[in-house]
Amino acid sequence: MGIQDTIKGFSVTFKGLLEKPTTIGYPEKKTPVHPRFRGRHRLWKFDDGLEKCVGCSLCAAACPADCIRVVAEENTPEHRVSAGERFARIYEINMSRCIFCGYCEMACPFDAITLENSYELSEYDRPRDLVYTKDMLLQPAMKEAPIREPKRG
């Protein structure tokens, strides 16, 4: 590395020192995310209230981090939870192990699970609060992030 490369590197640094910093007023103003951003998981229901998840465990099988736990149970005529023969009695995602790859979303044949744009997932008590239960996943995220507008041109 010659002296010219060193001077070139310092010039980049000094140009950065002269620029005004970009400050975002987080948490009042959220940073927009890209449309394909993968954040918090969400389980979905049909319009009639039945769950889309049929407890097939394909999402758990596809997960490389092994963070999804599904325990299926049979639907009965008196207790109908999903549209299929079975439903997920227990559906848990250990968010401290999740790598947000989206394989669970791609593996689901019923579009029962999606990764949304919410990225505020920090908690104080990791073992208790970062294991998302089925009831938590069926609820929409409390804090949604804005979607970034695509660049034109």
Percentage of the chain exceeding pLDDT 90: 62
Chain position carrying tokens 């002296």: 3
Tokens of 53: 């998840």
Q: Express each pLDDT in 67-79 by its tens digit.
A: 999 999 999 989 9
Q: pTM for this structure?
A: 0.79
Q: Which of helix, strand or coil describes residue 59?
A: helix
Q: Express each pLDDT in 73-129 by its tens digit.
A: 999 989 999 988 999 999 999 999 999 999 999 999 999 999 999 998 888 888 889
Compute the distance between CA of residue 65 and CA of residue 97 in angstroms, rounded to an integer: 6
Compute the distance between CA of residue 149 and CA of residue 82 in angstroms, rounded to an integer: 36
pLDDT at 150 over 80: no
- Work out the pLDDT band at 58, boundaries 50, 70, 90: very high
pLDDT score of 135:
96
C-alpha distances (whole Å) from 109 to each of 42, 105, 113, 125, 137 are: 15, 9, 10, 33, 18
C-alpha distances (whole Å) from 92 to each of 70, 87, 138, 139 are: 7, 13, 11, 14
Is the Cβ–Cβ distance between 90 and 134 less than 8 Å? yes
Q: Express each pLDDT in 126-140 by its tens digit.
A: 888 999 999 999 999
pLDDT score of 1:
66
Which phi and psi angles does 126 have, rounded to 5°?
-60, -50
Question: Where are the strands (E) in 22-148, listed by range?
Answer: 41-43, 68-74, 86-94, 113-115, 131-132
Average predicted confidence (pLDDT) for the chain: 91
Q: What is the mean pLDDT of residues 44-67?
A: 96
Q: What is the mean pLDDT of residues 15-41?
A: 87
Angle at 120 between CA 89 and CA 72, to 5 degrees: 10
- Work out the pLDDT band at 48, boundaries 50, 70, 90: very high
- Work out the pLDDT band at 153, boundaries 50, 70, 90: low
Asked if the peptide bond before residue 27 counts as cis, ω within 30 degrees of 0, the response is yes
